[in-house]
């Protein structure tokens, strides 16, 4: 029964929606078969499908698995009673099947009475209590794992909205002020590159593609962006400036709306982050002024 599970895991696209339900159903079936031959020793084995289902972080998947688990558990108890290892072994310290006990009872060698309606007894006194216990366990898993995951996603979304300029998808000025006040003061070497451009969308898309964990981009004004580079390597500043310039020239050559920009940069120690930024900003305005004068 484990072969289909391994085959699906190795050969089938796990992103397909039906795969998870087939896998979980097979896990339920495998747990039920194992429990049928292990009697009450295997009560906790019914938790395995639930632990598998909760990895998908979906409420529906968890509840479907719980329902399938209840069905396979009930069938397992009935099959185990008639054809598996009998639960009487726990009391009598043996390892026989129900048929052996029935033969001994019929021969008069065992002096105890049998339940006249074993199916009802198994369902009411066995399957139902276990289903209730699994239900409680399912609620606990849903709250701890799925609800916690959903809360984390909401927090992450709120954090993204708080820190990101939604129009350009780079960091906003709030994040910028926070980082230069706390984070960048502890950076060894720091470089700042300022851009002022008349085509907001074009520049933001280019800068977004160039950003990394070490190179963060912020929108600090209407058309102004700054890239702060932690511990810049040799020629990295020039490389960033040239990459942006080449991208803007390509846009101009495509006959789209003319794009003009001014850039300035500076480098220094992280403790002087505001001085570095002001210097880069001043150079950018100098270049912008020279550009205007050259066009007159």
pLDDT in tens, 169-188: 889 988 999 999 989 999 99
Contacts of range 254-258, beta carbons closer than 8 Å, 24 or more positions apart: 256/202, 257/199, 258/198
Q: What is the pLDDT averaged over residues 163-168?
A: 83
pLDDT band at residue 127 under the 50/70/90 scheme: confident
Task: Please tell me the predicted confidence (pLDDT) of residue 91.
Answer: 54
Task: Please tell me the predicted confidence (pLDDT) of residue 229.
Answer: 95
Is the pLDDT confidence value at 108 over 70?
no
Residue 204 · residue 259 · CB < 8 Å = no
Please provide the average confidence, as pLDDT, over all residues in the chain. Answer: 81
């Amino acid at each position: 029964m484990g072969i289909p599970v391994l085959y699906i895991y190795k050969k089938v696209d796990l992103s397909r929606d039906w795969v998870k339900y087939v896998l979980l159903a097979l896990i339920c079936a495998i747990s039920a078969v194992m429990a049928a031959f292990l009697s009450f020793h295997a009560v906790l084995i019914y938790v395995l499908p639930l632990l598998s289902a909760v990895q998908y972080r979906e409420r529906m998947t968890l509840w479907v698995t719980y329902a399938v688990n209840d069905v396979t558990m009930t069938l397992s108890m009935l099959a185990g009673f008639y054809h598996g290892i009998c639960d009487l072994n726990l009391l009598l310290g043996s390892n026989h099947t129900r048929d052996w006990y029935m033969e001994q009872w019929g021969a008069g060698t065992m002096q105890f009475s049998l339940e006249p309606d074993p199916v009802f007894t198994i369902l009411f006194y066995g399957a139902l209590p276990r289903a209730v216990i699994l239900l409680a366990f399912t609620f606990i898993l849903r709250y701890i794992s799925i609800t916690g995951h959903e809360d984390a996603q909401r927090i992450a979304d709120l954090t993204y909205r708080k820190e990101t300029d939604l129009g350009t998808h780079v960091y906003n000025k709030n994040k910028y002020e926070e980082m230069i006040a706390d984070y960048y003061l502890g950076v060894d070497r720091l470089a700042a590159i300022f851009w002022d451009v008349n085509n907001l969308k074009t520049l933001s898309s280019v800068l977004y593609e160039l950003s990394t964990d070490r190179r963060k981009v912020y929108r600090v004004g209407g058309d102004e962006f700054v890239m702060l580079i932690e511990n810049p390597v040799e020629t990295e500043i020039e490389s960033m400036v040239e990459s942006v310039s080449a991208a803007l020239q390509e846009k101009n050559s495509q006959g789209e709306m003319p794009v003009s920009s001014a850039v300035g940069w500076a480098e220094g120690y992280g403790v002087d982050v505001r001085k570095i930024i002001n210097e880069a900003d001043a150079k950018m305005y100098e270049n912008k002024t020279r550009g205007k004068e050259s066009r007159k």
